[in-house]
Amino acid sequence: MASIRFRTSIARGLGGAVALVVGFSAAAVAEQSAPALSPIEQLGSRLFSDVSLSEPKGVSCASCHDPARAFSGVNGSSVPAVARGAPAGAFGSRKPPSVSYASFAPPFSFVDKKDEETGKVEKTPVGGQFRDGRASDLIEQAGGPLLNPVEMNNPSREAVVAKVKGGAYADLARTAFGKDVFDNPGQAFDKLMQAIAAFERTEAFHPFASRFDAVLRGEAKFTPLEARGFALFKDPHKGNCLACHAGDVKSHDPKDWLFTDFTYDTLGAPRNGAIPANAAQGSFDLGLCARPGLAASAPKGFETEGVCGAFKVPTLRNVAVTAPYMHNGSLATLRDAVAFYATRDTNPERWYPKGADGKVSKFDDLPSTFHANVNVKEVPYDRKPGQKPRLSDDEIDAIVAFLETLTDKRGN
């Protein structure tokens, strides 16, 4: 099983968009949205922004999921691609994903996928949180960074609960979950994570307030360049972006345009030597195949080695404000990212270093054993050196212009 792909349209079920949008501090999110939030959501907003919940103090959920950057970011890290952790000298190994629209991701599971060439039906992983889907849902995801020694570095669930119990908003937790909420620390931790997840499901995280949404609703029009970019984005012979970044071309409902199918793909992104974890020779981030429990949960016959190097397809909503790009932040600009898709195979020398033999070391962030997993069949990857890329420079610029329309408007 090499590169895994399927096309799907995912049903949406939330209410319409609101005017609350990204573009201000996490504290401002809580303050501006608090009157409309339930007690559980208010508690979640306080937890999300609380820098006292790390060990030592100084890092919160909002540190790596900045509202001004569509709930992504690297908290002022000296390594642009990854966030710094609470302990001195600690850094993550992946670019923090955006939490915007993350509540739409289904739980991690395996679904049927029909191979378009052979007609064979295979089980394909889909959904989950984090770039490798290791958390099934937002509740499980919320607890991960709090207990990760290179992130918020708490020694235990009980230690987190003790901080909240002794903090300024303990009474809010009692209001949300009852006066005995702290009596059982293990259960209390789970409830606190439920509160963070509840906050992340509020409309602050999915406002559907971009100009693209306004166009869908008939309230605005694309510029000629943006319209051209949207056409190229959809064209299966040009950008073919809908193959992964799905949307319903027949729908004018923004909720039918999440710009992801929640599957996993192996793109062969260039290695980022600036990430401290990459300094170790032979150290590789294998993505989905390294997900804890994958082999045990996989259906019979599923080849876990076939998804080594695969990462979850992100939403493209707000993509213009979430640089750098790829799971390892190896591409600095949005234009670089689009150009990489178009020219990775026609001009690999643009993206990969040369080895001692003078040849380009393509797919240098994967062991050669797994190079066969990289998606090289679908447009625009179906090219070879010397062939014309599927997209010209002008067409790349047009797609970038379209992608910039996906940025949610800032609040007043």
- Looking at the chain, the domain(s) classified CATH 1.10.760.10 span 39-205, 211-405
User: Buried b / exposed e across 182-208, counting CB within 10 Å, b at 16+?
Assistant: beeeeebbebbbbbbbbbbbbbbbbbb
The four Cα atoms 86, 80, 32, 46 give a dihedral, to 10 degrees, of -20
Span 211-405 CATH architecture: Orthogonal Bundle (1.10)
Of 366, 363, 260, the C-alpha closest to 308 is 366
Of 23-32, 57-66, 207-216, 362-371, the least confident:
23-32
312 three-state secondary structure: strand
Q: What is the pLDDT of residues 86-114, one digit of tens each?
A: 999 999 999 999 999 999 999 999 999 88
CA pair distance 34, 205, nearest whole angstrom: 14
126 three-state secondary structure: strand
Read off φ and ψ for residue 230, nearest 5 degrees.
Answer: -65, -40
The four Cα atoms 345, 346, 348, 349 give a dihedral, to 10 degrees, of 180
**39-205 CATH:** 1.10.760.10
Q: What is the pLDDT of residues 203-246, one digit of tens each?
A: 999 999 999 999 999 999 999 999 999 999 999 999 999 999 99
Confidence of residue 411 (pLDDT cuts 50, 70, 90): low
Measured in whole angstroms, how far is the alpha carbon of residue 148 from the centre of its chain?
Answer: 18
CA pair distance 263, 288, nearest whole angstrom: 11
Tokens representing 353 are 């270093």
Q: Residue 120, class by beta-carbon neighbours within 10 Å (0-12 exposed, 13-18 middle, 19+ buried)? A: exposed
- Specify the pLDDT at position 410: 74
Q: What is the pLDDT of residues 268-325, one digit of tens each?
A: 999 999 999 999 888 999 999 999 999 999 999 999 999 999 999 999 999 999 999 9
Q: What is the pLDDT of residues 243-281, one digit of tens each?
A: 999 999 999 999 999 999 999 999 999 999 999 999 988
